[in-house]
Structure 1
Amino acid sequence: MSAEQRLADRRERLMTAAYTLYAKPGFTATTIERLCSEARISNRAFYECFGGREELLQALHERCVDESLAVVAKAVEEAPAALDEKVKAGIRAYIEFATADWRRARIMHVEVRRSGDVLTLSRQRAVHAFARLVEDAVADFPPTVPLNRHLVALGVIGALQELLIEWLLTEDQPDIDELVDVAVHIFGRSLGTS
């Protein structure tokens, strides 16, 4: 392998190790030494890939967000033209994608908050990217309520995040279909689709 390929391989091994370790035991409990041991690289090699644990968390979070945005955008695009169908398709795609791997859901909805200021800007960019996705999905439909759609989009995204945190942290996990139904109801009432 070339030097670039070795660096890319180490970086990917660290991302894979962080995907599991940052989800459990969590970001604050995961040391660089543990990440390196899991990825089977040296501490020196770690710093050739990332400036620190925080930079690795940010890269991992951004990957999860980008993958989620792509899945949701595709679902909304392929949904029937009716607004309520687009909303339901986007919500179901997001919830199913996030919950298909609890590590992804945990990194995006729990560890992102537990990391303190580390991911504040990254989290804010992600929330605004999802808000734009919602706004774009409803742009062709006249508003039924005289509210700022950007603020409504931010509010419904916050509600969806809290539903996923509930799914992650409670012993009696709500069923995925129940999460979808509740999220669709919240979005529908907020955006005037139901």
Structure 2
Amino acid sequence: MNAQESHQIQDVVPGRPATQAAVGRRYSGQESSERVRERRARLVEAAIEVFGTTGYASSKVKEICRGAGLSERYFYESFVNREDLLYAVYVDLTERIFEVTRRALEEAGDDIVAGARNGLAAFVRYLLDDTRYARIALIEVVGVSEKLERQRFAALDAFAEIVRHQVLTQPVPQREDLEPHANNHTDRVWIASVALVGAVNHVMVDSLIAGYPVCAELIVDVCFEFFENTRTALPRA
């Protein structure tokens, strides 16, 4: 191998600078690490468009790079493959959803019931206002890999924890009609919380798959009614 061939191979190895002098070099006032983060963010946004419209299964790295305005070389600078990018997109989306839900809960102050409704409304609206988000978070990630399934179930459990918190912090009268063995408050709340999160999730999935728009306010109204009926039916700890 001659020197020219060696130099050409070095140039196409993802993430490897062509020369030591390139490390830390500034372009347009940006450090190299800043440019890497900026390119990664562009790829994530381009992937949201592709995964959220045409779907993950039929997507191509070249298509995503074209949407980001980057060459494929820069794709492999930040991601191993398409699944790695889908994982990053899903984590990014769930972090955004948690943030808007958290803010909505905080705005209600000490009013637990209002906070629960605000949080539910923020969650539903965020996903349905841009159905690309809903398609990725609720459909495209399902069954892709064991790693993504673990992350998906962790996210669902985190949302169930929000519901558990709302239920546990709201006192309700003890029901006399329950059998003694049924008065295990913690277990009942856990089961109810997981069921409520699953119900909201499936309502939106069904709407997306059916292909007809469902009013976000109607989903919030019906699901919040489920929440309230469940909360008042649970025994107090």
Q: TM-score, normalised by structure 2?
A: 0.75
SS in 1 for 2:221: helix
Alpha-carbon shift at residue 34 of structure 1 (Å)? 1.4
Equivalents in 1 of 2:85, 2:73: separation in Å?
Answer: 15
Contact map agreement 2:79 2:85 (CA 8 A) in 1: yes
Matched with 2:215 is 175
Q: Kindly state the Cα deviation for residue 80 of structure 1 after the two structures are TM-superposed.
A: 5.5
User: What is the root-mean-square deviation in Å for CA atoms of aligned residues?
Assistant: 2.1
Matches within 5 A, 1:67-86: 67-79=96-108, 81-86=110-115
Matched position secondary structure for 2:196? helix
Change beyond 3 A, Cα 1:89–1:159? same
Q: Which segments of 5 or more consecutive residues in structure 1 lack a partner in the other structure?
A: none
Residue 54 of structure 1: aligned partner? 83
* Aligned partner of residue 30 in structure 1, secondary structure: coil
Q: After alignment, is 182-191 or 47-56 more displaced?
A: 182-191
The alpha-carbon distance between structure 1 residues 44 and 172, as it changes in their structure 2 partners (threshold 3 A), is: closer
Query: Residue 158 of structure 1 aligns with which residue?
Result: 198
- 1:105 is matched with 134
Does the 8 A contact of 2:61 with 2:82 survive in 1?
yes
Equivalent position SS for 1:26 = coil
Offset of residue 118 of structure 1: 5.1
Q: How does 1:104-143 map to 2 (within 5 A)?
A: 104-113=133-142, 115-117=144-146, 119-142=148-171
After superposition, what is the alpha-carbon deviation per residue over 1:44-72, rounded to whole angstroms, capped at 9, x for unaligned? 21111111111111111111111111111
Larger RCO (CA under 8 A, 6+ residues apart): 1
Contact 1:36 1:46 in 2 (8 A): yes
Pairs aligned (count): 194
- Where is the helix percentage greater, Structure 1 or Structure 2? 1
**Offset of residue 162 of structure 1:** 0.8
Matched letter for residue 66 of structure 2: S
> For residues 17 and 193 of structure 1, do their structure 2 counterparts lie closer, same or farther at Cα, with a shift above 3 Å needed?
farther
Comparing 130-139 with 102-111, which one deviates more in the overlay?
130-139
- Percent identical across equivalent pairs? 26
Conserved 8 A contact 2:143-2:149: no
- Residue of structure 1 in register with 2:118 after alignment: 89
> TM-score of the superposition, structure 1-length normalised?
0.90
Q: Which runs of 5 or more residues in structure 2 are unaligned?
A: 1-29, 176-182
CA shift for structure 1 position 31: 1.3
1:28–1:115 Cα contact (<8 Å) kept: no
Change in Cα spacing, 1:175 to 1:3, as seen in structure 2 (3 Å) is same
Q: Which residue does the alignment assign to 1:63?
A: 92
**Which sits farther off after the overlay, 136-145 or 151-160?**
136-145
Taking the aligned partners of 1:83 and 1:187, their CA distance within structure 2 comes to 12
Q: 1:91 to 1:156 in 2, by over 3 A?
A: same
Deviations 1:119-164 (A, max 9, x none): 1011011111111222222332236674522222111111001111
